Chains A and B, each alone.
Chain A
Amino acid sequence: MKPPPFTYHRPTTTDEALAMLADAGDSDTRILAGGQSLIPLMNFRVALPDELIDINFIDELDYIREDEGCLAVGAAVRLSTAERSADVARLAPLVSEGLRSVAHPPVRNRGTVVGSLAHADPAAELPALLLALDGEVVLRSSGGERRVAAGDFFEQPLVTSIEPGELVVEARFPVSDGHSGHALVEFTRRHADFAVAGGVVALRPENGAPRQAAIALFGIAGTALRAGAAEAMLADDEGADAREVADAAVGEIRILGDIHGGPEYRRRVARACVERALVRARGGLQ
């Protein structure tokens, strides 16, 4: 299970990386960040990139900062760095909590926040967190920069709306009010496995007005999803029965199955995750 050969590039600035991407042409060129998803695929010889652009040595992409009401995380930031960051805990406590469910610590020591988003595994936590918090990613190419909202970024399993020549340089999570209630609940076969199903609930108070509720699901469809019907239910009645909200969340989704669970089983588990996350999130508000 040795990886196939590839041509290696090591830019030290973002512009250099973008120039390399622009030059890629027809070759299968991928970004090497943590490699925790890419390298296993290469060892299986399922991924056969011709070229890898290693962004681990671009210091200017290694930052965590607050910027325009968002927690901004650069593409080189490791999952474990974000997990331990006091800034992340303060600005986006849901992200802090969710990071602890991402794989095992040794994987978090190499994997990156942005890398997990760009990889877009439907069972991953970070896309669901970005979605629940109405976050966005920043895509840059040698031609310029654009921001894409989470809802527009994840298209299919392992496919995002990134265009050739673009690099995801930053993830942006709107800052959470310290009074928000939130929870991520997932069900895995074993501790730290890929989620069979998962739910993220973020309840954000809006001074005096009914709370905004965000519910995101992962592990059950081609991408992470927002549960609009369930959110509407909570917007109408913030004290709605958690089980009914969860039912609404999973009710109409077309769910995929695999050997770890068929569609109806996953629906049941997803419902349990949403219900439990909602109960925990409400508990956090008190």
Chain B
Amino acid sequence: MNVPIEITVNGALHREEVEPRMLLVDFLRERLNLASVHIGCEHGVCGTCTVQMDGKCIRSCITFALQADGAEVTTAEALAEGAQLHPLQDAFWEKQALQCGYCTPGMLMVCEELLRDNPRPTAEEVRERISSNLCRCTGYQFIIEAVMHAAEQHGEGPAAQIAEVTR
């Protein structure tokens, strides 16, 4: 029996009917064609499916779509404004904070929330915060550098405290 829901996603209101068991990740990917939300483990450990609900990061693979009824959901598609990348995206690009790109949208969601909560994080704070999201490619170093770089560029963040690579 389908259930009606109203979800605002990236600023646009959607009225849809969903099977109760439909996971939010599948709703966003299949119904709204938001391909940035990725499926990694489907049991809430890897964080690849991370989106924001009412400004807070959640794992969309262990959330039913109807639990987001009435909420505002944000995905990585909301970060860039047309041709203009979000400062975090630009920092990720500059610092090569991605290789395969699969963890990247979820990671960007976590980092965006982090910088909103804490515009001047230390490298240790960044490291702890991103530990909710697995990355199999980068070993995390360049992701931390990218967040520190974005913080520095757009706030009064401390200079990157993590050792930079020699080249």
A interface residues with partner B (beta carbon < 8 Å) = 1-8, 10, 32, 35-36, 39-40, 42-44, 52, 54, 56, 80, 104-107, 109-110, 191-192
Task: Tell me whether A43 and B50 are in contact in the complex, defined as CB-CB below 8 angstroms, given that A5-B21, A105-B57 are known contacts.
Answer: no
> 6 other contacts beyond A8-B1, A107-B59, with CB at 8 A cut-off?
A1-B42, A3-B21, A6-B20, A39-B64, A106-B57, A106-B58
Question: Assuming the A-B contacts A52-B20, A192-B131, are A107 and B67 also in contact, with contact meaning beta carbons closer than 8 angstroms in the complex?
Answer: no
Q: Main secondary structure on chain A at its contact with chain B? A: loop
Residue of B nearest to A80 (CB): B56
Question: Is there an interface contact between B44 and A109, defined as CB atoms closer than 8 Å?
Answer: no
The smallest beta-carbon distance between A40 and chain B, in angstroms, is: 4
- Complex Cα distance, B44 from A192, in Å, reads 13
Whether A191 and B131, one on each chain, are in contact in the complex, defined by CB atoms closer than 8 angstroms, is yes
Determine if A104 and B43 form an interchain contact, defined as CB atoms under 8 angstroms apart.
no
In the complex, the chain B residue whose C-beta lies closest to that of A104 is: B132
- A39-B64, A109-B57, A191-B131 known; A1-B43 Cβ under 8 A: yes
**A36 close to B56 (CB less than 8 A):** no
Roughly how many angstroms separate A144 CA and B71 CA in the complex, as a whole number? Answer: 33
Whole-angstrom distance between the Cβ of A50 and the nearest chain B Cβ? 12
Binary flags per residue of B57-85, CB closer than 8 Å to A gives 1, else 0: 11101111011000000000000000000
Tell yes or no: B148 within 8 A of A by CB. no
Enumerate chain B residues within 8 angstroms of A8, measured Cβ to Cβ. 1, 3, 20, 66
Asked whether B160 is an interface residue with its Cβ less than 8 Å from the other chain, the reply is no
**Contacts of B66 on A, CB cut-off 8 Å?**
8, 10, 54
- With A and B bound together, what is the CA distance between A3 and B3 in angstroms? 16
